[in-house]
Amino acid sequence: MFGIGFQEIIIIALIVLLFFGGKKIPELMKGLGKGVRSFKDGMNGTEKEEK
C-alpha cells in the first residue's frame, strides 16, 4: 500500500495515539468517515446530474 510496510503503519499509529490520546481517536475517525461519505455523495450527485 503506497510503499508503506506494516512496521511503518504501526509506528504512525503509535505516534497518532501519543499526539491525540485514546479518547480523541474515535472522534477523529468519526469526522473522517463523515468527510469521506460526504465526498462520495458529492461524486455520486455529480454523476447523476450528468446522466
What pLDDT does residue 49 have?
57
What is the C-alpha separation between 45 and 15, in angstroms, rounded?
A: 37
Question: Quick one: cell of 20?
Answer: 491525540
The whole model's pTM is what?
Answer: 0.49
Query: What's the alpha-carbon Rg for the chain, to the nearest Å?
Result: 16
pLDDT tens digits for range 2-31? 687 889 888 988 888 888 787 887 888 888
What pLDDT does residue 5 have?
87
3 state SS for the chain: CCCCCHHHHHHHHHHHHHHHHHHHHHHHHHHHHHHHHHHHHHHHHHHHHHC
Question: Quick one: cell of 21?
Answer: 490520546
pLDDT at 42 over 80: yes
